[in-house]
A and B are shown apart, each in its own frame.
Chain A
């Protein structure tokens, strides 16, 4: 067995901050987009709307849940330009990850909304809230409180899944690992280091999620 030598990575340390920044940018950007999409799609799916809207929403969710993220990434980055829509690799990554995670999380939002007691709707209606006010002020805050743990899991998954965008011309963490490997041939040291960095990021999210849940639990039923 060969001796481990983590020092071979040292000359490339200056490249890490940039790669971490890109990973975080895509992870956070995609997550924010996913939150917005999931709240909109999830709320709409619990309402009585015309069939066409429901069909489109269902198609969106099923498509992104039923196909591989990597293929979705290729469709957005390589496929859209043939329709005249040209976007950079970063934007393509954020949009794809956001759409993908948004599809999963919209189901979480929908289930959370349906789990809010019917009495909340009746109490709101009797006080004079209209339907939109009821959703925005009464139902969504309670539903999102229920959805927080799933959202945080989604964020954590998203950070890990950003490694897939290494197939696009973007130097995020995994791509950087590949590049250093090509120059040093020390795969174990390199990928262990990358794994540790990913772990620190996802663990921070988990830690933050625990704090958030504890804060929100003061008003839980």
Chain B
């Protein structure tokens, strides 16, 4: 499988504050990469740069060989699922999926509605088709956001702490959906603190520490083999919070 994302020597600063320090990273298509790290370590900044939402300060991000400079340059290849959902409140659940298809891809109304139904069925909220997002639970909102991202058939979906604002049971629903996608071979990049949830299906875990990749490898390597002081301390801390 080919290299979908190639990041070389990436740096990012906000004013005088250096957030990412000459970072190198690759994502192959079909991989599910989890990004973990303490709050403020630069996880959001990294994925937002990959998405084109933040301009980079140095280095380069290639998506399918094309440099990412803004959201337009990702050309619909990157989908994003946000912590606070960012659903469109003025559209019904069905329209949240069908309207982007109609507006951007000029898809026919019936076709777009059918695609919306298929995707809502896939994330188990087809019965909410006619309702507005404000009537959904947090978990349902996030599953709708995932379905909306899937509709554009992106090559990679980025999740930035998709379950951080959810209760544990609702977070579980969302991770079940993400796990289903992993089984289908969807390439994903998942920033999360719920490492116990992602270790079951992540192909690789990247530990970000103070804007640098401190360690990376298979879940087994990260959890059982590697001996890294900062990582061990971080894992202890999150495991404690997870309970």
Contacts and interface: CB of A to CB of B under 8 A. Distances in A.
A117 interface: yes
A128 interface: yes
B104 interface: yes
Given A126-B51, A127-B104, A218 B152 contact: no
B72 A126 contact: no
A127 B100 contact: yes
Given A122-B53, A126-B80, A117 B86 contact: yes
Contact of A127 (B52, B53, B152): B152
Interface string B52-67: 1100000000000000
Given A127-B152, A129-B103, A122 B89 contact: no
A133 interface: yes
A133 to B, nearest CB: 6
Contacts of B87: 123
B89 A126 contact: no
Contacts of B51: 126
B239 to A, nearest CB: 30
A129 B80 CA distance: 13
B89 A142 contact: yes
Contacts of B133: 219
A128 B100 contact: yes
Interface in B131-151: 132-134, 148-149
Contacts of A130: 72
B41 interface: no
Contacts of A117: 86
A128 B51 CA distance: 12
A142 B52 CA distance: 25
A145 B100 CA distance: 20
Contact of A126 (B78, B84, B88, B90): B78
Query: Chain A: interface secondary structure?
Result: helix
Q: How many B residues touch the partner, as a band?
A: 20 to 34
A221 interface: yes
A220 B134 contact: yes
Contacts, number: 63
A127 B86 contact: no
A119 B79 CA distance: 14
Interface in B87-112: 87-91, 99-100, 103-104
A123 B133 CA distance: 15
A221 to B, nearest CB: 5
Given A127-B152, A137-B99, A218-B132, A122 B104 contact: no
B82 A119 contact: yes
B150 to A, nearest CB: 11
B71 interface: yes
A141 interface: yes
B217 interface: no
B119 to A, nearest CB: 13
A129 B72 CA distance: 9
Contacts of A142: 89-90
A132 B204 CA distance: 39
Interface in A91-147: 117, 119-120, 122-123, 125-130, 133, 137-138, 141-142, 145
A142 B132 CA distance: 14
B23 to A, nearest CB: 22
Given A126-B71, A126-B80, A120 B88 contact: yes
Interface string A186-214: 00000000000000000000000000000
Contacts of A120: 86, 88
List of 8 A-B pairs having minimum Cβ-Cβ separation, nearest first:
A123-B86, A119-B86, A125-B71, A126-B80, A219-B132, A128-B76, A128-B104, A127-B100
29 contacts: A120-B86, A122-B53, A123-B82, A123-B87, A125-B52, A125-B53, A125-B71, A125-B72, A126-B51, A126-B53, A126-B74, A126-B79, A127-B100, A127-B149, A128-B75, A128-B100, A128-B104, A129-B104, A137-B99, A137-B103, A138-B88, A141-B90, A142-B89, A145-B90, A218-B132, A219-B90, A219-B132, A220-B134, A221-B89
Given A125-B71, A221-B89, 9 more contacts: A117-B86, A122-B53, A122-B82, A126-B51, A126-B53, A127-B149, A128-B75, A129-B104, A220-B134
